[in-house]
Structure 1
């Protein structure tokens, strides 16, 4: 049951990052001018989805604090390396990002490294 804290951390971290990327893609590129950047950031920070992404990061931190009371950091932290693998698949399928075999092989190595770190 304690692993729910680790997986809560991963879930809310990923949610926040995916939502931020999705919405910022819709806003377009950051303008070059200072006033353009200020306007861009103001509108982005008022977006309900972006606000939810920031709140998600806060909730992830609370889950992480709970996880730190239940696990040694050397056990809990390697699980955080699963986030890039999940983000990769979500990015490819939901955001239309680039799929490459090099990324898949790298993610496979990360997952193997996580297993080795946690189990041995």
Structure 2
């Protein structure tokens, strides 16, 4: 009753009567957007991916730079406070905040089932950054898994 008529028509049958009409065959009203606008809408997703990866890499860099975690509770508290006051860590926290904002904006443009798989691109960027900046090891399993994830994202982006 409270659903837009287009959704009510597409969500008929027992699903609608069971209150599941919203979950059945719903299309965002942005689906008919101009292709250029659609491409620009993807910037929200890619901003989230980049900002999240940046945050993770900066955190790893600064935590590694800070040294080992002290054993006692007072030392741990001082260690964490020192990290929280570090300008690089602050930039990572700010990046995480804006990644969340970008994600919210992306969700105004895309169905979550389409947008969410793109978050796996964060893993790929962090993996590559770990190899380049921190000399993290990569085995064949990680490379094959990353290729499979990338293929899945490409399939969703193309046919999603």
> What TM-score comes out, normalization by structure 1 length?
0.94
Q: Deviations over 1:35-65 (max 9, x none)?
A: 1101101111110000100000000011111
Spell out structure 1 runs of 4+ moving beyond 3 A: none
1:38 corresponds to: 77
Give me the whole-angstrom Cα distance separating, in 1, the residues matched to 2:148 and 2:45. Answer: 21
Gaps of 5+ in 1: none
Match of 1:55 among 90, 94, 98: 94
Give me the whole-angstrom Cα distance separating, in 1, the residues matched to 2:149 and 2:94. Answer: 28
Greater C-alpha radius of gyration: 2
Is structure 2 residue 159 aligned with structure 1 residue 116? Answer: no
1:101 corresponds to: 140
Aligned residues: 120
Give me the whole-angstrom Cα distance separating, in 1, the residues matched to 2:99 and 2:41. Answer: 15
Is structure 2 residue 42 aligned with structure 1 residue 3? Answer: yes
Name the structure with the higher helix share: 1
> What TM-score comes out, normalization by structure 2 length?
0.72
SS at match of 1:97: coil
SS at match of 2:138: coil
1:29 corresponds to: 68
User: Which one scores higher on RCO, CA 8 angstroms, separation ≥ 6?
Assistant: 1
Give me the whole-angstrom Cα distance separating, in 1, the residues matched to 2:66 and 2:125. Answer: 24
Q: CA RMSD in A?
A: 1.1
